[in-house]
């Protein structure tokens, strides 16, 4: 048990200006965290307690799923990253660490150390050097640790911070089959973990991004303030991150629209946007236009074509196999194509330097366009009656467009919905991307003495982000409404007259009884007015409040109120210990 006067819970009546969203305001107002710098937070005692609760539940579920906890350093040798497959891609989000004496050397060779943003590059050679027999395969290791990522724009408090707490796990299996079994087991552990945190969440198909690997799922908490868009269908259960989502457009049996008219060039002075061509005097619907985009992949330009009405989903460019991809600049585009952006097209024979293009990729849905319009690679000119097979110079087709709400679900055909969500977990089946490396990978000898790479998976949970996601989802006008399992204290005994020995003794007895049930108790013994105590108890969101007041004592009762209910129960003092403990048993088991 803890006396309020002995701990430190600095609640605020007003929200500091730094906070924009409700969960961030409540983190500050309830005295859980304070900002130290941009994207950097100190956990005050109440925040630390809650963070520990979330981490402990995570630990329990990982252990229950057979994972083994370890702890790796946060300061990592840069050489180990440089030897890995994604140094260049990941470097810009990494903090570099240098000692004063090493700085001169580092300026030439890059940093000597980095702060760990994740640990594949560390655990793979670690386990690789430890394990060499197939008998030792089938292990999953995890740690709960501070991670560092130089977010371009930290925001929303703990939601996207430069330093955050993460549970990262890594599995090493004999083969694909075993790896997929591990993946399923971790997925189940994730479901249990988020459920125990009291979260409403969904798992969605996700893009593997820079991590690579064969497939992945994200755990998403629906919330307006989320950073991700989730595409879903209630009918079929289909759910995917918009980066990954596909729709039933185009239909699987569709055919190219038939060419019907002669290709011709026409003047379009000043019209350099899809919208401009859609207006008079041209009146060409966006659906009937081709959108041509030039990107640079690992230094090599390539072209993309989509329907004018569609947006490129950049994450889908990952399928093209480049390590670093960025949009080309106008000065790169003009000599290549022969025109500035706005007049670009991919009609055969019109591209100034076709041989410089590393590839021309088309979204499948452009096949729906017949007699379309595209740029002529000549400023101020477009071409009409453009047809896909006949006229466009395409190397391959793929899925590059971003799905829009209302499009048919790929499984059920019903309209897809889109919702904002917070990503709180992400699991990947990695395959052998890391383990197969000859010099530092993780390989084992099988029963036939053959050397094989371990089939890996990796599993992340944003522990500190989960904490804030819980608040975002579990609050009301008065403050946080903690789910039982993650509440910093389960019960607050609000003593309205702490000067009365009788009241304080009763509070102590109740707290002792409650703690034997495993419930953490906070006794509000402060010399404050009742209103202040009630407001603070609501703000910090303790699930159960027992109020002891002089008035009630005269009647021989105390009051019991759940944070998520308006009802106040009056309980005779002689029964209070048994009543409260039985209520707690119900709540903590349910």
Q: How far apart are CA 441 and CA 128, in angstroms?
A: 6
Binds RNA by CB under 7 A, chosen from 217, 426, 475, 490: 426
The yes or no reply on residue 477 touching RNA (CB under 7 A) is: no
Binds RNA by CB under 7 A, chosen from 13, 260, 283, 574: 13
Pick the closer one to RNA by CB: 116 or 375: 116
The yes or no reply on residue 242 touching RNA (CB under 7 A) is: no
| Nearest one of 53, 57, 76 to 490, comparing CA atoms | 53
**Shortest distance, CB of residue 8 to RNA, whole angstroms?**
13
Residue 380 φ/ψ region, left for φ over 0, alpha for ψ in the -120 to 50 degree band, beta for the rest = left
Residue range at the interface with RNA (CB under 7 A); choices 30-38, 189-197, 253-261, 376-384: 30-38
Pick the closer one to RNA by CB: 391 or 472: 472
Contact 225, 156 (CB under 8 A): yes
Residue range at the interface with RNA (CB under 7 A); choices 280-288, 484-492, 537-545, 572-580: 537-545
Q: How far apart are CA 10 and CA 7, in angstroms?
A: 10
**Shortest distance, CB of residue 14 to RNA, whole angstroms?**
4
Pick the closer one to RNA by CB: 441 or 549: 549
SS3 38: coil
**Shortest distance, CB of residue 96 to RNA, whole angstroms?**
13
Residue 397 Cα distances to 149, 322, 364, 389, 392, angstroms: 35, 17, 6, 11, 12
The yes or no reply on residue 536 touching RNA (CB under 7 A) is: yes
Pick the closer one to RNA by CB: 360 or 496: 496
Chain residues 101-120 in contact with RNA, contact rule CB under 7 A: 117-118
Q: How far apart are CA 349 and CA 496, in angstroms?
A: 85
CB atoms within 10 A of CB 225: 18
Residue-wise burial string across 275-290, b where 16 or more C-beta atoms lie within 10 A, e elsewhere:
eebbeeebebeeebbb
Binds RNA by CB under 7 A, chosen from 46, 481, 549, 584: 549
Binds RNA by CB under 7 A, chosen from 32, 33, 65, 94: 94
Binds RNA by CB under 7 A, chosen from 185, 256, 552, 588: 552
Pick the closer one to RNA by CB: 94 or 584: 94
Chain residues 559-578 in contact with RNA, contact rule CB under 7 A: 559, 561, 568
Q: How far apart are CA 142 and CA 119, in angstroms?
A: 10
The yes or no reply on residue 152 touching RNA (CB under 7 A) is: yes
| Nearest one of 246, 199, 198, 191 to 218, comparing CA atoms | 191
Contact 169, 458 (CB under 8 A): yes
Q: Which ranges in 283-382 belong to alpha helices (H)? A: 330-337
SS3 218: strand
Pick the closer one to RNA by CB: 347 or 495: 495
Count residues binding RNA (CB under 7 A): 56
The yes or no reply on residue 501 touching RNA (CB under 7 A) is: no
Pick the closer one to RNA by CB: 509 or 535: 535
Q: In what order do the strands lie in the sheet with 75-77?
A: 75-77, 113-115, 96-97
| Nearest one of 438, 375, 401, 459 to 141, comparing CA atoms | 459
The yes or no reply on residue 315 touching RNA (CB under 7 A) is: yes
Residue range at the interface with RNA (CB under 7 A); choices 105-113, 271-279, 373-381, 535-543: 535-543
Contact 492, 186 (CB under 8 A): no
Bond from prior residue into 281 cis (ω within 30 degrees of 0): yes
Chain residues 361-380 in contact with RNA, contact rule CB under 7 A: none
CB atoms within 10 A of CB 505: 11
Binds RNA by CB under 7 A, chosen from 48, 378, 509, 535: 535
The yes or no reply on residue 73 touching RNA (CB under 7 A) is: no
Pick the closer one to RNA by CB: 30 or 455: 30
Pick the closer one to RNA by CB: 264 or 555: 555
Residue 269 Cα distances to 26, 275, 532, angstroms: 55, 14, 69
The yes or no reply on residue 227 touching RNA (CB under 7 A) is: yes
Residue 487 Cα distances to 198, 311, 324, 481, 496, angstroms: 10, 43, 43, 9, 22
Pick the closer one to RNA by CB: 433 or 443: 433
The yes or no reply on residue 341 touching RNA (CB under 7 A) is: no
Binds RNA by CB under 7 A, chosen from 96, 314, 407, 515: 314
Residue range at the interface with RNA (CB under 7 A); choices 55-63, 181-189, 464-472, 546-554: 546-554
Q: How far apart are CA 563 and CA 537, in angstroms?
A: 9
Contact residues: RNA, CB under 7 A: 11-18, 20-21, 29, 35, 37-39, 90, 93-94, 117-118, 149, 151-156, 160, 209-211, 227, 314-315, 426, 460, 478, 496, 529-532, 534-539, 547, 549-552, 559, 561, 568
């Amino acid at each position: 048990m803890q006396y309020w006067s002995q701990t430190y819970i600095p609640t605020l009546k007003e929200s500091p200006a730094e906070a924009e969203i409700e969960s961030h305001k409540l983190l500050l107002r309830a005295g859980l965290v304070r900002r130290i710098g941009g994207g950097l937070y100190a956990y005050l005692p109440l925040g630390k307690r809650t963070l520990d609760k979330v981490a402990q539940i995570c630990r329990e579920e990982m252990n229950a799923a057979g994972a083994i906890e370890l702890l790796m350093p946060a300061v990592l040798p840069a050489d180990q990253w440089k030897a890995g497959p994604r140094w260049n891609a990941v470097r810009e989000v990494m903090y570099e660490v240098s000692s004063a004496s090493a700085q001169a050397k580092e300026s030439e060779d890059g940093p000597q150390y980095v702060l760990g943003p994740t640990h594949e590059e560390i655990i793979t050679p670690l386990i690789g050097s430890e394990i060499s027999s197939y008998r030792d395969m089938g292990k999953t290791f995890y740690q709960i640790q501070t991670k560092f990522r130089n977010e371009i724009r930290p925001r929303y408090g703990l939601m996207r911070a430069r330093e955050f707490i993460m549970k990262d796990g890594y599995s090493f299996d004999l083969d694909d089959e075993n790896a997929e079994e591990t993946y399923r087991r971790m997925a189940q552990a994730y479901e249990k973990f988020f459920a125990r945190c009291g979260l409403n969440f969904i798992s969605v198909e996700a893009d593997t991004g820079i991590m690579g690997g064969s497939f992945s799922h994200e755990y998403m908490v629906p919330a307006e303030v989320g950073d991700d868009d989730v595409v879903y269908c209630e009918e079929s259960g289909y759910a995917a991150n918009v980066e990954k989502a596909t729709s039933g457009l185009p239909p699987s049996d569709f055919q190219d629209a038939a060419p019907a008219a002669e290709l011709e060039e026409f003047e379009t002075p000043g019209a350099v946007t899809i919208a401009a061509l859609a207006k008079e005097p041209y009146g060409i619907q966006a659906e009937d236009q081709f959108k041509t985009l030039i990107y640079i992949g690992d230094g090599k330009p390539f072209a993309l074509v989509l329907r004018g009405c569609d947006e490129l989903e950049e994450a889908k460019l990952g399928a093209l196999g480049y390590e670093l991809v960025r949009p080309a600049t106008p000065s790169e585009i003009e000599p290549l194509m022969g025109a500035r952006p706005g007049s670009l097209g991919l009609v055969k024979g019109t591209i100034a330097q076709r041989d410089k293009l590393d590839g021309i990729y088309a979204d499948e849905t452009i096949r729906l366009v017949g007699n379309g319009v595209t740029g002529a690679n000549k400023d101020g000119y477009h071409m009409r009656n453009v047809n896909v097979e006949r006229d466009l110079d395409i190397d391959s087709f793929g899925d590059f467009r971003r799905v829009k709400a209302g499009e048919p679900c790929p499984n059920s055909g019903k309209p897809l919905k889109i919702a904002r969500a917070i990503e709180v977990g992400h699991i990947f089946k990695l395959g052998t991307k890391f383990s197969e490396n000859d010099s530092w990978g993780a390989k084992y000898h099988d029963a036939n003495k053959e050397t094989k790479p371990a089939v890996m998976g990796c599993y992340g949970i944003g522990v500190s982000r989960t904490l804030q996601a819980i608040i975002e989802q579990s609050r009301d006008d008065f403050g946080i409404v903690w789910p039982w399992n993650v509440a910093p204290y389960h019960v607050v005994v609000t003593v309205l007259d702490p000067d009365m020995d009788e009241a304080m003794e009763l509070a102590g007895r109740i707290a002792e009884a409650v703690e034997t049930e495993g419930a953490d108790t906070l006794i509000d013994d402060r010399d404050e007015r009742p209103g202040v105590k009630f407001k603070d108890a609501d703000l910090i969101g303790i699930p159960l409040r027992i109020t002891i007041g002089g008035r009630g004592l005269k009647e021989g009762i105390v009051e019991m109120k759940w944070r998520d209910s308006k009802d106040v129960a009056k309980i005779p003092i002689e029964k209070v210990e048994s009543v409260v403990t039985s209520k707690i048993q119900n709540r903590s088991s349910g």
